[in-house]
Amino acid sequence: MLTARVVAPARGVDATISAEAGRTLALLGPNGSGKSTLLAAIAGLVRPAAGAVTTGTRVLHDLDASRPVWRSPRERRVGLVTQGADLFPTMTVLDNVAFGPRSQGAPRADAREQSARWLDSMGLGGLADRRPASLSGGQHRQVAIARALASAPDVLALDEPFAGIDVEAASQLRTFVASFASDLTVILTTHDPLDVHLLAHDVAVLDHGSVVERGTVAEVLTRPRTGFAARMAGMMLLHGTVGPSGELVTDDGIRVAALAPHLSAGQSAVAALRPRAVRLAASGGIPDVIRTIEPRGDVVRVHGERLVADIDPASAAGLLPGASIAFDVPPVEVYAP
Ligand SMILES: Nc1ncnc2c1ncn2[C@@H]1O[C@H](COP(=O)(O)OP(=O)(O)OP(=O)(O)O)[C@@H](O)[C@H]1O
C-alpha cells in the first residue's frame, strides 16, 4: 500500500493519494493539475515542501517529522517511467535494462545475465542487442518499462505511458502492462478513458493540485461528481437540488424526473447523463438552442446550450446551429455531489 501526501506550493499541489498493492490507480485530471508532480515526488525526483510518502512500513520521505527523512530515488523501489523515458542511446537494450541491477550493486556479468532472463520473460529477448534509436515508439516504451521493472520496484509509476504512440502499439503496450500489473502497485496518469477501463481498479481525479474525486473505476465513471470525470465517462453532469417530488431541478432550471431518489427535497444533487439517452422532444420538452452539430460514428451529436444529445442521422436532418430545439431526458439517478 502506498500513501502519499505531497505539498508543493510552487506547483500549486497539495494532494493525498493512496494505492493498494496489486491494484492499479489511474490519476486523472486536466493539464497542469499536478499528476506528474505527484509521481515525481513519489519517485524522489522532486522534493516537495511538506508531506510524506510511505510504501507499506517503509518511509520514502517524511518532511513533516521533527527530523525529516529523505531517501534518494535509487533507495525508494519506485520505478518511474515518464513520457520522455530516455534510454541511454549508446547502450544496447540489454545494457539499458542491466543498468538498474548494476546501480543497486550487482556485478556487470550478473546484471547482464539477470536482465537477459528478464527481457526473455517479458517477450523482449529479440531486442536485447538493439540500440534505442532502432526501436519503434512502442518498443521503446516497453523497454523503458522493463528497465524500471528490472530493479524489482514496489511501485511502478507510469506517466502517460500510452501517449504519442500509434493505436496498435498502444494496444500491445496495454496488454504488456496488464500482464505484470497484478504483482505490484501501479499508478498511471492518463487522459484516455480506455486506459482507465482496461487497466485501472481505482481512480483519483486531480484538479488545481488537489484530489477532487476518488473511488473505484465503477464508482467514479458511473457516478461522476466532477465535470472532468463525467467527460471521461462520456457523460454530462447536471448540478442542482432535489425538488418537492424528488425530481432534479438543475441550476439553470431544468426539471428532470429522478429514479428512486434517495435524497430529500432541498438537498444538493447531481446526475450524470449519457448523450445517447437524450432525445429530440416531439412536443414540450426542455427548450434549448443548438450550438453545434457534429457527426459521431453512427449518430449525430447535437450540442445545445444546456444539453447534448446523440441522435440518429435521419432525425438530425434540417437541424442548424442557432435554431431552437427541445429535448426529452429520461429519469436520471440523482446522488449527492
Ligand atoms: N519543472 C517544473 N518547475 C516548475 N513548475 C513546474 C514544473 N513542472 C510542472 N510545473 C508546474 O506545476 C504544476 C503542475 O504540473 P504537472 O506537470 O504536475 O501537471 P500534470 O497534471 O502532470 O499536467 P499534464 O497533464 O499536462 O502532464 C503546473 O502549474 C506546472 O506549470
Task: Kindly provide the ipTM of the predicted complex, given to two decimals.
Answer: 0.96
Q: Rounded to an integer, what distance in angstroms lies between the CA atom of residue 325 and that of residue 293?
A: 12
- Atom 10, ligand 1: residue with shortest CA distance: 11
CB 92 within 8 A of CB 129: yes
What pLDDT score does 48 carry?
98
Strands 50-55 vs 58-62: parallel, antiparallel or unpaired? antiparallel
Q: How confident is the model at residue 123 (pLDDT cuts 50, 70, 90)?
A: confident
- The alpha carbon of 52 and the centre of ligand 1 are apart by a number of angstroms equal to 20
pLDDT digits (tens, 9 = 90+) for 64-82: 999 999 999 989 999 999 9
- Segment 155-182, tens digit of pLDDT: 999 999 988 888 888 888 898 888 888 8
Residue finishing a domain among 194, 228, 262: 228
How many domains does the structure of the chain reveal?
2
Max Cα–Cα distance, the chain, nearest Å? 78
Lowest-confidence region among 26-40, 178-192, 298-312? 178-192
Least trusted range by pLDDT, from 102-106, 175-179, 272-276: 102-106
Q: Do residues 197 and 136 share a domain?
A: yes
Instruction: Report CA dihedral (171, 173, 175, 179) to the nearest 10 degrees.
Output: -170
Question: What count of other Cβ atoms lies within 10 Å of the Cβ of residue 15?
Answer: 26
One domain for residues 223 and 242:
no
* Same domain, residue pair 12 and 102: yes
Residue 57, judged by CB atoms within 10 A of its CB (0-12, 13-18, 19+), counts as exposed
Residue 266 belongs to domain with CATH number: 2.40.50.140
Residues 34 and 121 in one domain: yes
DSSP letter, residue 183: T
Nearest Cα residue to atom 28 of ligand 1: 32
Model-level pTM greater than 0.90?
no
CA of 161 to the centre of ligand 1 (A): 17
Identify whether residues 194 and 245 lie together within a single domain.
Answer: no
Q: Tell whether 185 and 59 lie within a shared domain.
A: yes
- Best residue among 11, 45, 212 to mutate for probing ligand 1's pocket (most ligand atoms within 8 Å of CB) is 11
Q: What are phi and psi of 78, to 5 degrees?
A: -120, 120
Note whether 123 and 249 are same-domain residues: no
Q: Quote the domain boundaries for residue 63.
A: 2-228
Are 172 and 252 members of one domain?
A: no
pLDDT tens for each residue of 237-272? 999 999 998 899 999 888 999 886 678 899 999 999
| 220 confidence band (pLDDT: 50, 70, 90) | very high
